[in-house]
Structure 1
Amino acid sequence: MSNHHQFIDLHTHTLASDGLHMPSDNVKMAKEKGLAGIAITDHDTVAGVKQAIEEGQKIGIEVVPGIEISTVANKLDIHILGYYIDYEDQVFLERLNQLRDVRSIRNDMMIKKLQELGIEITIEDVLALAPKKKTKQTVGRPHIAEVLVHKGIVKTIKEAFDVYIGKDGKAFVSPPRIHPTTAIDWIRQAGGSAVIAHPGLYENDELVEELIQHGVDGLEVYHSDHSPDEEKKYLKLANKYQLTITAGSDFHGERNGEVFHAPIGGRKVNIDVLSELKRK
């Protein structure tokens, strides 16, 4: 039977990363919008995938297990989507864990630099100041700044940033992020297909083409932030390299009727592409 009237949105976020909705809600919304399927692609985590798949089985929506991995090349934030990864693969999960630890690694590096500058500060000082929330408190530079004010090293938070921990400060550090080619390799090693997310946002087609040549399976030609001209251009590029053409809304949620990026199904593609993503 032909699927030519069935569509899927291959790029959505949930509460597992920076979206606003439960994974199961994304699946329900896909059904309400008349889609046949949806992918869950949270940033650097697969924590929402299982719940979405269970909901999909309940209500008859195809759920594609996915991920969106944050990487950096040429100082640009590049996002690589992965589909049909083995989301229980221990090596893959450990790698994602390290990606999510970048912030705490940065804190440790900054504190070490401050100590080298003769300032008596420890990670314990910083954690003691961070509010003890029930959720996982993300400790970052504002908390380090507060400790510096507290200890009388600086008078204000602004001075803490200007002198020490802002990007021109004496103790600023930027831990290395992985390169997109590494993310592509990780996805493939976890049995998945790698797709370059929203190529139009990078404004660097040379880099996009280099990544394609490294070996990706698909290109997100249709994205909420692409202009019609960009969609034409990336369609050509995808065809030139015989890549799977994907589409995604990049849905993050709605609050008070206001939608971030686009609603679910805001960009969609024929569900037939799944057989290509699976085959790869």
Structure 2
Amino acid sequence: MTAERGGADLHTHTTASDGTVTPRERIRMAREAELEFVGITDHDTLAGLPAAREAAREAGVVLVPGVELSTDVDLGSRRVGVHILGYWVDEAAEPLVQLLARRRASREQRLARMLQRLAEAGIVLDEERIRAMAQGGAIGRPHVARALVEAGVVATVAEAFERYLTPGKPGYVPRAPLAPEEAIAAIRAAGGVPVLAHPGLLPSRLQGLWPAWKRMGLAGVEVYHSKHSPGQAADFLARARELDLVPTGGSDCHGPQPGQPALMGRVRVPREWVERLAARAADPEHTL
């Protein structure tokens, strides 16, 4: 769903994880795109939210605070990554704080293994340079991909993923396991609202798990996304209504970065959807 102004982009990233702009810059971009609401949903961290909150107050943009947890589903022949967004969590909830700390520690271990595998393939990257790119944020494959571009190994981030950082490729290392059910439970226990991110990037057979995830506490589904086709969005909206899941949407903007079009403002969902999502957070029966 798109519009010229207003509305909400509920899925963006900053340098607190694998985005290329700071939380303050992301808020500025939201204001320039004339968004009313912007969600900041960095991977495995809430560290960008204080700065984003202050910048949003100054800019007159409403921040929807969030986090994105990377989980996996075992399909037998392969593991499929499933991302769960959590909005309005209690940022001081100790179980969630500890879970996020463990996830970030596993990212550090994964980085070491990726660099080792790439070195074995004859590609030696500067770990300190990768850490400088991450600016203290949660390190992930996009940082390694950008380092591969900078080193001249590949031309684009997309090529880096395709040639080196996806399953079966020389630099790929699977992430530490976390089930979607665990992520949903952790978000709910912290008073947050769990939402399934970009289902259009997942095998369609996983839609069969939506009812079970709903019973576990899944509250919404990201119907609109920068990589969803209109047909996918229509199907997801119908399915969300069928299961009484709140429809949401976001650009999943990580940039700007070379080779990627500007995404802020390309995906907007109405205020009503944000209010419905917020109502789930305010419902005392929602949390565990």
* The two structures share one fold, judged by TM-score above 0.5: yes
Q: Is the Cα–Cα contact under 8 Å of residues 10 and 248 in structure 1 kept in the other structure?
A: yes
How is 1:1-280 mapped onto 2 (pairs within 5 angstroms)?
6-74=6-74, 75-104=79-108, 135=132, 176-203=176-203, 204=205, 205-255=207-257, 258-259=259-260, 263-280=263-280
Cα offset for 1:106?
A: 6.1
Counterpart-to-counterpart distance in 2, 1:202 and 1:51: 32
Cα separation, partners in 2 of 1:175 and 1:23, compared to 1, 3 Å = closer
SS in 2 for 1:234: helix
Cα offset for 1:8?
A: 0.7
Cα offset for 1:45?
A: 0.6
- Write out per-residue CA displacement over residues 116-159 of structure 1, whole angstroms, 9 at most, x where no aligned residue: xxxxxxxxxxxxx985667469799x9xxxxxxxxxxxxxxxxx
Counterpart-to-counterpart distance in 1, 2:208 and 2:62: 35
The gaps in structure 1 that reach 5 residues or longer are 110-128, 143-165
Cα offset for 1:263?
A: 1.2
Cα separation, partners in 2 of 1:175 and 1:48, compared to 1, 3 Å = closer
Counterpart-to-counterpart distance in 1, 2:173 and 2:6: 48
Cα offset for 1:64?
A: 0.8
Q: Is the Cα–Cα contact under 8 Å of residues 72 and 177 in structure 2 kept in the other structure?
A: yes
Cα separation, partners in 2 of 1:70 and 1:223, compared to 1, 3 Å = same
Structure number with greater Rg is 1
Counterpart-to-counterpart distance in 1, 2:23 and 2:112: 33
Q: Is the Cα–Cα contact under 8 Å of residues 85 and 192 in structure 1 kept in the other structure?
A: yes
Q: Which amino acid aligns with 1:91?
A: P
RMSD (Å) for aligned C-alpha atoms: 3.2
Identity %: 36
Counterpart-to-counterpart distance in 1, 2:275 and 2:127: 48
Counterpart-to-counterpart distance in 2, 1:208 and 1:250: 21
The gaps in structure 2 that reach 5 residues or longer are 114-124, 145-166, 281-288
For normalisation by structure 1, the TM-score amounts to 0.73
Q: Is the Cα–Cα contact under 8 Å of residues 195 and 220 in structure 1 kept in the other structure?
A: yes
Counterpart-to-counterpart distance in 2, 1:173 and 1:52: 31
SS in 1 for 2:256: strand
